[in-house]
Structure 1
């Protein structure tokens, strides 16, 4: 195991108030004197072609971050900058995620508006349309994660969101199963960028400690998206135009989606080293405040040693299984949930309104999980995930075996707790993998699991069992139970790894430079300062 020079940890470093009245002379003054637009904080290809690929933070930028890491940052200044980050990043990601969820569930609303009858879909063709979306996602999951390492993250995401909208509007013109199937596959490929891009953006701008709450905040838009989707569905169902309601659904949501993508492309920054929204001193502070993460990254180079390491790391396979077991139920309920609820005895418009309490239940569970996670001491996040998943198991049991409509409807709403589990799981992904290439592959692994689960899920819902879908509901219950097992196994792996590293440091077999260990693009295996979030 390599040995690096040990320096004093941050808590023992020299105190210099950045932006305060008692600011000392030296490295900080030198950094501030360089705060002008002529400084290039990124390195990459020059010329017209060089405008498109992502650029790495410059050696000067990293050197100034290391100098700043040897100081104690002014708490008020950091909080001011973080409020500015929140104002820029959180609303943007929330709106993106709302469109992301509404976009995925338009087929579900189209089902209750008569798309099966209008396009003369066969008995199994609706299930195939649900799954074909994720075949596109599955095929593009790894390539899109690698492309996110190559191109400015926000710009790449905005282009894909624009394509979501265009393809969704295209679905409104579908004449038969084949037309819709092709467009669904392409839509799935475009949306494969979404979740991993949101997680990477969050890990770029926020510390590991902040990531669970910030992921939770934009994931709240999932619940609001469901509620808003219900309101959209109810409103669109009242349109008395020349087209069927399901075509208006695709056209209106698709147009709004593409319009938002243009706004995102123009106004949201790509990285701390590349934004006009912050001064240079603020950009340095943004990165320096993440000094204890040992996981900053920002490189655009693909590293084969990190790729090999990813395929050797058991965590990556557990992340895949987590994504799979979490999304077998999602693949079923996101496409058949409205049909199940309608089978409780509601009419079409009442069914759309029943999605509003479901969405608000998701919001409530996510907020509760964020609050509890914030109050718990470090080391309990995976336990919280396991416990939060229990209501989903109970909810599916209520749908399957309870007789009364109120109990079954309450069970359906309870299954929304799973969204809080996935929020915490995404924070484990963003905080527990080091190295940009390895992180890209880990992200792809999770979302390959997401895509596979969403492909499998709809086929558990058998046409002959409509509208109760007993086999599908029980399959979702079993998948949620297995998800709890995967979470606990992942916890064991992470805890054991941390104990090994702590023991090596205590015995003097390992030393490292705490001020610079997180700036280099190295994996969590190679970064001796790295500790896993459990």
Structure 2
């Protein structure tokens, strides 16, 4: 009954003059009681409650009606502020934990885990890489399950398991036990980045995605700084356990606590949530009418899967993830050891991560504002610009002698985080179709996993503490990343020109209002244009 009243209010608004706007809809009674039957389309049976629910035809019909009339920018802005308050802090906290979790082993290294577990030769590098073997093995299944289950609930369940497995690592007695736990941890963390990107693309327009991805990715820098502070504090705990054990126990417990909060309070989609009225939920979807990105659905589309595997963009996205994360695999696990090699003691080494995290945040914020004011289709140029400082930074580490230039070089390698932020917006904004987008996202993060596997093995114990070969390899990988970015730009620009030419010559016609609501890929959507 509540849903019927809402549709009636929309019908009344639609019958009036076309330029009336959305105020009449807002003036109608806005029920907070949600109608599952009319707004969602669930799988029948007991298990249907646990699977992702599609928006119902009735809900999408009302979205189509709303698409026919202009939206009041004041109302839209108010709703978007509400989305920001609900989604952005949650993703930021998740990402901070995500980064702290991944780098816990790096702090454990300077607190004596190598000696306590009697790790030999390359075993520490193997522990760094085995995490990403788990990630690599589970990345594709994780993306399939992410389309099948309610997104936020699935993410929260995985974060709960991160925390449990991290706490279990404190009980490790040897390399073999820790290796198994690291593989399992990597598998359950494979969902993180793709889930964050998909949540962002679900709630925000294509133009808003770079800035919103930047907001939660800034938590990467916060995580580095907070990790340094936590490491410093944990290192001074005078308990009966080794310091590295407290590192695993405390951070794991924090992850578990946060996962419960996330499960309870953050919604899975705009189609069904008590945080917004029905009219507000319709506006959330309708304001994305020009993006040509379909609604989030449960079904797996085989034709989109085939298309993804023959699309050159998929492989360029993989190479982007790989070249961006060979250096990350090295610095996230050997960064503290490199800095300690500059002449700092253990506790000062942890504190040196604080300015590193702050510089990362500055680069990301700078990239967000630059993207906002730069001309259209210059995102790839911005990515190149933020990659150049990382090349310079690794050169300073490799070929200068003083502590100050090497430390500054290490800090400015953090500019790569800004590159990856803008790069993620290219994936979320330049792939159409839910299944194809899931595969493209998986391709990026398969590259991330592969890069993080390779990275640690380029740092040889015989070269400690300078690790010259590893640092130069990181420099080369960043240079190759620039080439991949420019190739992506070439693909986007050429595709747009080809589509514009077909429309100008009258060979292709389309109705944006129809294509915007269909789950079709970017190849099959003539209204789709790539952001370069």
TM range (shorter): over 0.9
Shift of 1:521: 0.9
Unaligned runs of 5+ in 1: 1-12
Match of 2:34 among 34, 37, 54: 37
Matches within 5 A, 1:453-492: 453-492=451-490
Q: Distance in 1 between matches of 2:114 and 2:32?
A: 61
List structure 1 segments (4+ residues) > 2 angstroms apart after TM superposition. 13-16, 28-40
1:348 aligns to what? 346
Work out which of the residue numbers 169, 172, 181 in structure 2 matches 1:171.
169
Corresponding residue number in structure 2 for 1:428: 426
- How far the C-alpha of 1:251 sits from its partner, in A, is 0.1
Cα pair 1:35 1:281 within 8 Å, conserved: no
Alignment counterpart, residue 372 of structure 2, candidates 365, 371, 374: 374
- Per-residue deviation, residues 168-199 of structure 1 (Å, max 9, x unmatched): 00000000000000000000000000000000
Query: 2:447 matched to 1:443?
Result: no
| Deviation sequence 1:291-318 (CA, Å, 0-9, x none) | 0100032111111100000011000000
Match of 1:525 in 2: 523
Change (3 A) 1:14 1:485: farther
Structure 1-normalised TM-score?
0.95
Alpha-carbon deviations, 1:210-261, whole Å to 9, x = none?
0000000000000000000000000000001000000000000000001000
Deviations 1:128-157 (A, max 9, x none): 000000000000000000110000000000
Alpha-carbon offset, residue 503 of structure 1: 1.0
After TM superposition, the structure 1 = structure 2 runs for residues 128-527 of structure 1, keeping only pairs within 5 Å, are 128-527=126-525
Instruction: Tell me whether 1:18 sits opposite 2:22 in the alignment.
Output: yes
Instruction: Give the one of 62, 71, 74 matched to 1:73.
Output: 71
Query: SS where residue 241 of structure 2 aligns?
Result: coil
Tell me the SS of whatever aligns to 1:291.
coil
2:38 match: secondary structure: coil
The answer to whether the Cα contact below 8 Å between 2:389 and 2:413 also exists between their aligned partners in 1 is yes
What secondary structure is seen at the aligned counterpart in 2 of 1:162?
helix
Residues 31 and 64 in structure 1, CA contact (< 8 A), matched pair in contact too: no
Taking the aligned partners of 1:510 and 1:117, their CA distance within structure 2 comes to: 67
Partners of 2:248 and 2:488 lie apart in 1 by 40
Q: TM-score, normalised by structure 2?
A: 0.95
Corresponding pairs, count: 515
- Aligned partners of 1:112, 1:78: CA distance in 2, in Å? 50
Aligned-residue Cα RMSD (Å) equals: 1.4
Distance 1:433 1:108 in 2: 35
> 1:34 Cα deviation (Å)?
8.8
Q: Which aligned pairs between 1:85-164 and structure 2 lie closer than 5 A?
A: 85-164=83-162
Secondary structure at the counterpart of residue 293 of structure 1: coil
